[in-house]
A and B are shown apart, each in its own frame.
Chain A
């Protein structure tokens, strides 16, 4: 059973507000990822981390930022939310060299910016 948690599940916020989406995993995985997904659409990788103090931008340009100060925690921050940021955000983790190397996903955060 996957132990990766995202909070909040749903968030409605006004334009210009600063928000942080939380993601935590208890599996000790070294790699963590953030994906952006519009309803019924494909996943777009926006950030990833190979370990503590390692962060990289993904394939889709994003105005968000991330940090990885602890292995288990990979928060995503938007300094000034805009309606174009409305989407679902999925966090995932996986272990280098693990058996099968599959990614485990959180339940997602659905963000609406009004």
Chain B
């Protein structure tokens, strides 16, 4: 079974400050890991994903995340927050089975607010 835990339902940072959104996962098989962003009244948009290989993954809009197997974590970071980063962020996990049973599991989300 797989699960995702996002620590902190709401994170607030100042414009220009470091953004850190935490995600821990549980998976009995090698995982695929994802971060999605959702703006108000929109669907989810993929920010970045980890499949295999390099553990530091770069995504769109200056975001990156590092897969740490020993810590079962996949935290999302951005060095300098911008007002346009204010949104809801979802971490997700899927297993790497190439089967119809493969599912994608979403965390409960973290709302990011940016203070001027």
Binding site for B on A (CB under 8 A): 6, 30-31, 40-43, 50-51, 88, 90, 92, 94, 96-97, 99-108, 110
B43 within 8 A of A: yes
Q: How far is the CB of B87 from chain A (nearest CB, A)?
A: 11
Kindly state the separation between the CA atoms of A42 and B106 in the bound complex, as whole angstroms.
8
Contact check: which of A97, A100, A104 meets B98 at CB < 8 Å?
A97
> Which residues of chain B are within 8 angstroms of A104 by Cβ–Cβ distance?
46
Kindly state the separation between the CA atoms of A50 and B103 in the bound complex, as whole angstroms.
10
> Which residues of chain A are within 8 angstroms of B96 by Cβ–Cβ distance?
101
> Which residues of chain B are within 8 angstroms of A96 by Cβ–Cβ distance?
98-100, 102
Does A100 contact B104, Cβ atoms closer than 8 Å?
no
Extra 6 A-B pairs, beta carbons < 8 Å, given A51-B100, A107-B43, A108-B41: A92-B44, A101-B51, A102-B49, A103-B44, A105-B44, A108-B42
Does A107 contact B102, Cβ atoms closer than 8 Å?
no
Does A40 contact B100, Cβ atoms closer than 8 Å?
no
Does A100 contact B43, Cβ atoms closer than 8 Å?
no
Does A101 contact B102, Cβ atoms closer than 8 Å?
yes
Determine the residue in chain A with the shortest Cβ distance to B111: A40
Determine the residue in chain B with the shortest Cβ distance to A105: B43
Does A102 contact B100, Cβ atoms closer than 8 Å?
no
> Which residues of chain A are within 8 angstroms of B106 by Cβ–Cβ distance?
42-43
Given contacts A40-B111, A42-B108, A108-B41, contact A102 B46 (CB under 8 A): yes
Q: How far is the CB of A69 from chain B (nearest CB, A)?
A: 18
Determine the residue in chain A with the shortest Cβ distance to B42: A107
Contact check: which of B43, B51, B92, B98 meets A90 at CB < 8 Å?
B43
Given contacts A94-B104, A100-B51, contact A43 B43 (CB under 8 A): no
User: What are 30 A-B pairs with beta-carbon distances under 8 A?
Assistant: A30-B100, A41-B108, A42-B106, A42-B107, A42-B109, A43-B90, A43-B106, A43-B109, A50-B100, A90-B43, A90-B44, A92-B44, A96-B99, A101-B32, A101-B96, A101-B102, A101-B104, A102-B34, A102-B46, A102-B49, A102-B104, A103-B44, A103-B92, A103-B104, A104-B46, A105-B36, A107-B42, A108-B41, A108-B42, A108-B43
